[in-house]
Chain A
Amino acid sequence: MTQKQLRIKINGDTYLMYEGQSVLEACRSAGINIPNLCYLEGVSRRASCGICVVEIEGARTLVRSCVTPIREGIEIFTNTGRVRKARHTNIKLLLANHPRNCLECDKNRQCELQKLSDDLDVRDTSYPKIRKKHYDIDASSPSLTRDHEKCILCARCVEVCSQVQSVDAIEIAERGMEAHVSTFFNKGLDASECVNCGQCLLVCPTGALMAKHETGSVWKAIDEPGRHVVVQAAPAIRAAIGEEFGFEAGMPLTGTLAAALRKMGFDRVFDTQFTADLTIIEEGNELISRIKNKGVLPLITSCSPGWIRFAETFFPKLLPNLSTCKSPQQMFGTLAKTYYAEKMNIDPSKITVVSVMPCTAKKFEARRPEMNSAAEYWRNKGRRLPGGTRDVDSVITTRELADMIRESGIDFARLTGEKFDEPFGISTGAGTIFGATGGVMEAALRTAYAELTGKSLKDLNLKAVRGMGGVREASVDINGLTLKVAVAHGLKNAREVMEQVSKGKSPYHFIEIMTCPGGCIGGGGQPVPATTDVREKRIKAVYSEDESMPLRESHKNPAVIALYDEFLKEPLSGVSHSMLHTEYSRRDLYPGI
């Protein structure tokens, strides 16, 4: 179907634009940038900030270009005195209620409000500060902080939490001068439905929503003499870290990443992809076992901690459907302080495990009380690790890592690529694609197929499960069994799939769910901006990396094979269970109410 074209005028010039476009989109297509602070393509149409206003011939007032559709013959003016003054005034109004301590703000130099004030040459901030109600910074969440003082009420976070994630942990409360973004009764985020995904902070134009920082504890560990600090980097980091250093989105920089981590002073530079491969072995066997033994199906992946919290909150009855496998981050932490410690003869209490994750929910995951299997392991061997020992000690995001690289004085762009360390640095393409939506499924299918048939898939590229469709499904014939699978990313899509499971109408054997749109490459810890376009480029980087790997099936990872030989014995063994598997529990919101 061809879309109807409309003849419109922008600043006196005539253009042909498609029907259905907004004034803002039409102007962008014509190469005219219209600034805004609240619009979020495909997500938010609140049109609250008042920055994107333009003049339309015949209109008494200015109009908000983000929500005004074009029509035949419309005459748009984007650069009149009235428009400039209105934008200026609105920014000045926002600045009046916004702190001016940019130097202290984590968003400094990445703040949209700051950039826009500069772009629009707003120097005069003559309006006095008025903020009538003060709210303390909400630091209750292990992943995020919320600072009302910096909030400009664009409500992008509210829209993302609701429209993309269907979590609805936050909403605008009160009205007029008292209006603010609030959880239920202003209880801390941690007491709310929040799943720690951090999609809100990716879209926050200011520093009102920030990830919790752990760089300090990481430096402290690195600096401590005698401490053995190992770092693991998640698959999605390499596909995005370049963006922090001026590279185009979609440039995989695995070797550079490894080199940078080593230069920063980590004792061992490992790859979470190693435990991603391990996850596939365990989870693949779990799937086969559940099918063979008529266990609970569909089996649902469990790598994504936001998703786990979502399931615990909203679908507690379906927790038995979740794979009991820990996420690759947590498998890594456990193994680093057990198997690795023993193998290398390092005192486990001297080991610090640092994760670099694309994800803010991983900070939460590492703090889950049950994530201390290493301590348990040693206790069973008669050795007590210091109280409070976690399998993973610190979790930093891609952005925090970039900060640390800059702080180290490392010229990231000029680094020569290096390899990850053995043994946990060895991985396959199957581990790489964990970073993208559909990747865990594809990796699992590669291995399950081989496991059941004894041979590899003819084409390892399972294109049916790739892409950005919200829910994708595929069936794979394996030795007469038609394995039906589905992939969902973004929790709103996950909810849809789960509701089907809940009603007993799910036709699938296996479902992959990732919390964030695009998968981990779109995680809340990744560089900003994280537009759909950027996410798609990162996904491409992930698949190109996969294709370039000599091994692309998890079960062929020699280090994983060695791990089973030396330590775990076999998939789903007793050791595996105690080290690599976990349990979930219903999360009661607002207990006592």
Chain B
Amino acid sequence: MDSSTRERRIAEHKKRVNLIFKKCVWDDFLDRALEMSPEDMLEKVKESGLRGRGGAGFPTWLKWKFAREAEADEKYVICNADEGEPGTFKDRAILQEQAGKVLPGMLVCAKVIGAEKGFIYLRGEYAYLLPALSQEVENFNEKIREKGERFSIEIKLGSGAYVCGEETALIESLEGNRGEPRNKPPFPVSEGYLGKPTVVHNVETLVYASIIISEGPECFKSLGTSDSAGAKVFCISGDTDLDEGIYELEMGMTIKEFVELFSDGDIKAVQVGGASGHCVPRKKFADTIIGFEGVPTGGSMVLFNSSRSMYNVLHNYLEFFEEESCGQCTPCRIGCQQLLKGIEAVKSGEKPSEYLDDLVKLAGMMKISAKCGLGQSAANPFISIVEHFREEIMY
């Protein structure tokens, strides 16, 4: 099957969804949304079953509820556009094509929690989006000011640090500090930016929030599974011959369905969720659901065909973490170093293959004792790749 045939098949696939990238006019929406009470908005988002699209999947409405109930003179909404997970590029596409839907999502959230200030934290690598996005934000600020809203949005640029995708690290960075994740509790919804209640959402989450408010929760809720409601934007890369990498699909597909749709079939593993995600081997494709009941993902789906060395893949990921760990906590800072050094030592014969078992234990310990979500998930690729491709790591 050539790639254009495949693209046509994908376009017609029953799981293909067109919510996010659909063209629409936002003026009416804003008017409708602004007439709605914050309670109504919160209720709609709750009903939709929307969970955070960055990967961790925290129920969106709960974040809003906590921040809404927190008492403070100032509150903040932050759009997390620090998309640094290797294999992820959907937020860039959304911001390029549909910034008009992200900003209303921020406004809706702000209305619910009572915030007057919003930030978009845009990763430094996407600085080229700035001119268009700034214009968009300026127009939006102007438009809602005319409608009597006090909310306004400002863009802040990141400076090249993967860990700033972690929400408390992002807040630290916004405050002018090293992007080191904070201790939790307190969570940002009670003490976030400048110590004030703050909701941080992935770009995609905000767009879905807009859509849910505008079109009603049904459009979202009717899709997906009970644990993983709605749809999701997937970024497909690796061994696929498709030109486009971005597809909005209903949640709950198996990896088998996925691979059949997006590749020529010679796929031995899929890395779901980027470098910090899980590696699923072919034998598990059929019974692995992409979603919170199976393997969750922030969108990244990297396909590896049978010619690929999983040692190289793992080595590359570990190098990434060794460098991108913020470096504050022992398990992540030294753990990542040791995992990397460890597979090198086993490969070279310096350490026996049983050493991999020690390293798997170490990785398991990192998962439960690293301070932040990123440190904890840095162990994921190690555990899953070593489990399923042990031979490749050894020889």
- Check if A94 sits within 8 Å of B334, measured CB to CB: yes
Partner of A69, one of B163, B185, B323: B185
A162 at the interface (CB under 8 A from B): no
B296 at the interface (CB under 8 A from A): no
- Residue in B closest to A173 when the chains form the complex, CB atoms: B178
A127 at the interface (CB under 8 A from B): yes
Which A residues are CB-close (under 8 A) to B204? none
Which A residues are CB-close (under 8 A) to B341? 128, 130
Interface residues of A in 74-111 (CB under 8 A from B): 82, 85-86, 89-90, 93-94, 96-97
- Check if B333 sits within 8 Å of A177, measured CB to CB: yes
Partner of B161, one of A68, A153, A175, A177: A175
- Check if B371 sits within 8 Å of A130, measured CB to CB: no
- Check if B330 sits within 8 Å of A49, measured CB to CB: yes
Interface residues of B in 327-383 (CB under 8 A from A): 327-331, 333-338, 341, 345, 358, 361-362, 365, 367-371, 376
How does the 8 Å CB contact mask read for A30-48 relative to B, with 1 for contact and 0 for none? 0000000000000001111
A174 at the interface (CB under 8 A from B): yes
- Check if B325 sits within 8 Å of A176, measured CB to CB: yes
How does the 8 Å CB contact mask read for A105-146 relative to B, with 1 for contact and 0 for none? 000000000000000000000111010100000000000000
Which B residues are CB-close (under 8 A) to A175? 161, 163, 178, 323-327
Partner of B185, one of A46, A48, A68, A179: A68
Partner of A176, one of B326, B358, B361: B326
- Check if B328 sits within 8 Å of A97, measured CB to CB: no
Q: Compute how far the CA of A586 lies from the CA of B94 in the bound complex, rounded to whole angstroms.
A: 56
How does the 8 Å CB contact mask read for A59-74 relative to B, with 1 for contact and 0 for none? 0111010011100000
- Check if B369 sits within 8 Å of A172, measured CB to CB: no
- Check if A82 sits within 8 Å of B368, measured CB to CB: yes
- Residue in A closest to B324 when the chains form the complex, CB atoms: A176
- Check if B371 sits within 8 Å of A50, measured CB to CB: yes
B83 at the interface (CB under 8 A from A): no
Which A residues are CB-close (under 8 A) to B82? none
A178 at the interface (CB under 8 A from B): yes
Centre residue among B361, B368, B370 by max chain A CB count within 10 A: B368
- Check if B371 sits within 8 Å of A86, measured CB to CB: no
- Check if A64 sits within 8 Å of B334, measured CB to CB: no
- Residue in B closest to A68 when the chains form the complex, CB atoms: B185
Which A residues are CB-close (under 8 A) to B362? 89, 93
Q: Compute how far the CA of A177 lies from the CA of B336 in the bound complex, rounded to whole angstroms.
A: 9
- Using A48-B371, A93-B338, A130-B337 as known contacts, say yes or no to A67 and B330 having CB atoms under 8 A apart: no
- Check if B333 sits within 8 Å of A89, measured CB to CB: no
> Taking the nearest CB of chain B, how far is it from the CB of A275, in angstroms?
45
Which A residues are CB-close (under 8 A) to B361? 85, 89
Q: Compute how far the CA of A548 lies from the CA of B329 in the bound complex, rounded to whole angstroms.
A: 50
- Check if A85 sits within 8 Å of B365, measured CB to CB: yes
Which B residues are CB-close (under 8 A) to A46? 328
- Using A89-B362, A175-B327 as known contacts, say yes or no to A96 and B369 having CB atoms under 8 A apart: no
- Check if B368 sits within 8 Å of A61, measured CB to CB: yes
Which B residues are CB-close (under 8 A) to A155? 328
A303 at the interface (CB under 8 A from B): no
How does the 8 Å CB contact mask read for B294-331 relative to A, with 1 for contact and 0 for none? 00000000000000000000000000011111111111
- Residue in B closest to A172 when the chains form the complex, CB atoms: B178
> Taking the nearest CB of chain A, how far is it from the CB of B341, in angstroms?
5
A53 at the interface (CB under 8 A from B): yes
- Check if A50 sits within 8 Å of B358, measured CB to CB: no
> Taking the nearest CB of chain A, how far is it from the CB of B59, in angstroms?
16
Q: Compute how far the CA of A64 lies from the CA of B328 in the bound complex, rounded to whole angstroms.
A: 14
Partner of A172, one of B183, B322, B328: B328
Which A residues are CB-close (under 8 A) to B326? 175-176, 179
Which B residues are CB-close (under 8 A) to A69? 185
- Residue in B closest to A89 when the chains form the complex, CB atoms: B365
Centre residue among A68, A97, A128, A175 by max chain B CB count within 10 A: A175
Which A residues are CB-close (under 8 A) to B334? 93-94, 96-97, 130
- Check if B328 sits within 8 Å of A179, measured CB to CB: yes
- Residue in B closest to A90 when the chains form the complex, CB atoms: B330
- Check if A127 sits within 8 Å of B338, measured CB to CB: yes
- Using a Cβ–Cβ cut-off of 8 Å, how many residues does chain A contribute to the interface with B? 39
- Using A96-B338, A127-B338 as known contacts, say yes or no to A178 and B327 having CB atoms under 8 A apart: yes
Which A residues are CB-close (under 8 A) to B345? 128
Which B residues are CB-close (under 8 A) to A90? 330-331, 365, 369
Q: Compute how far the CA of A90 lies from the CA of B370 in the bound complex, rounded to whole angstroms.
A: 10
Q: Compute how far the CA of A311 lies from the CA of B128 in the bound complex, rounded to whole angstroms.
A: 47
Which A residues are CB-close (under 8 A) to B161? 175
Q: Compute how far the CA of A349 lies from the CA of B137 in the bound complex, rounded to whole angstroms.
A: 77
- Check if B367 sits within 8 Å of A61, measured CB to CB: yes
> Taking the nearest CB of chain A, how far is it from the CB of B325, in angstroms?
4
Q: Compute how far the CA of A51 lies from the CA of B329 in the bound complex, rounded to whole angstroms.
A: 10
Which A residues are CB-close (under 8 A) to B327? 153, 172, 174-179
Which B residues are CB-close (under 8 A) to A132? 337
Which B residues are CB-close (under 8 A) to A179? 326-328, 333
- Check if B328 sits within 8 Å of A48, measured CB to CB: yes
Q: Compute how far the CA of A94 lies from the CA of B338 in the bound complex, rounded to whole angstroms.
A: 11
Q: Compute how far the CA of A126 lies from the CA of B356 in the bound complex, rounded to whole angstroms.
A: 13
Which B residues are CB-close (under 8 A) to A126? 358
Q: Compute how far the CA of A51 lies from the CA of B336 in the bound complex, rounded to whole angstroms.
A: 17
- Check if A61 sits within 8 Å of B330, measured CB to CB: no
Which B residues are CB-close (under 8 A) to A177? 322-323, 325, 327, 333, 336-337
Which B residues are CB-close (under 8 A) to A94? 330, 334
> Taking the nearest CB of chain B, how far is it from the CB of A123, in angstroms?
15
- Residue in A closest to B179 when the chains form the complex, CB atoms: A175
- Residue in B closest to A66 when the chains form the complex, CB atoms: B183
> Taking the nearest CB of chain A, how far is it from the CB of B126, in angstroms?
20
Which A residues are CB-close (under 8 A) to B178? 172, 175
Q: Compute how far the CA of A97 lies from the CA of B321 in the bound complex, rounded to whole angstroms.
A: 18
> Taking the nearest CB of chain A, how far is it from the CB of B316, in angstroms?
15
- Check if A50 sits within 8 Å of B369, measured CB to CB: yes
Interface residues of A in 151-168 (CB under 8 A from B): 152-153, 155
- Check if B331 sits within 8 Å of A89, measured CB to CB: yes
- Check if B369 sits within 8 Å of A48, measured CB to CB: no
Which A residues are CB-close (under 8 A) to B183? 45, 47, 64, 67-68
Which B residues are CB-close (under 8 A) to A96? 334, 338
> Taking the nearest CB of chain B, how far is it from the CB of A240, in angstroms?
32
Q: Compute how far the CA of A86 lies from the CA of B183 in the bound complex, rounded to whole angstroms.
A: 18
Which B residues are CB-close (under 8 A) to A53? 369
Q: Compute how far the CA of A451 lies from the CA of B185 in the bound complex, rounded to whole angstroms.
A: 58
Q: Compute how far the CA of A49 lies from the CA of B333 in the bound complex, rounded to whole angstroms.
A: 10
Partner of A93, one of B323, B335, B376: B335
Interface residues of B in 140-176 (CB under 8 A from A): 161, 163
Q: Compute how far the CA of A374 lies from the CA of B304 in the bound complex, rounded to whole angstroms.
A: 80
How does the 8 Å CB contact mask read for A339-353 relative to B, with 1 for contact and 0 for none? 000000000000000
Which B residues are CB-close (under 8 A) to A89? 331, 361-362, 365, 369
Which A residues are CB-close (under 8 A) to B368? 60-62, 82, 86
- Using A82-B368, A177-B337 as known contacts, say yes or no to A48 and B325 having CB atoms under 8 A apart: no
Q: Compute how far the CA of A282 lies from the CA of B218 in the bound complex, rounded to whole angstroms.
A: 85
- Check if A48 sits within 8 Å of B324, measured CB to CB: no
> Taking the nearest CB of chain B, how far is it from the CB of A188, in angstroms?
23
Q: Compute how far the CA of A96 lies from the CA of B338 in the bound complex, rounded to whole angstroms.
A: 9
> Taking the nearest CB of chain B, how far is it from the CB of A98, in angstroms?
10
- Check if B330 sits within 8 Å of A50, measured CB to CB: yes
Q: Compute how far the CA of A45 lies from the CA of B322 in the bound complex, rounded to whole angstroms.
A: 24
Known contacts A85-B361, A86-B368, A94-B334, then 10 further A-B pairs from the complex at CB < 8 Å, ordered by chain A residue: A50-B330, A68-B183, A68-B185, A89-B331, A93-B330, A93-B335, A97-B334, A175-B178, A176-B322, A177-B323
Lowest 5 A-B CB distances belong to which pairs?
A179-B327, A93-B334, A67-B183, A176-B325, A86-B369
- Return 25 A-B CB contacts under 8 Å, by A number: A47-B329, A47-B371, A48-B328, A50-B369, A51-B330, A60-B368, A62-B369, A64-B371, A85-B361, A86-B365, A89-B331, A89-B362, A89-B365, A90-B330, A90-B369, A93-B334, A93-B335, A94-B334, A126-B358, A130-B334, A130-B341, A152-B330, A175-B326, A176-B333, A177-B333
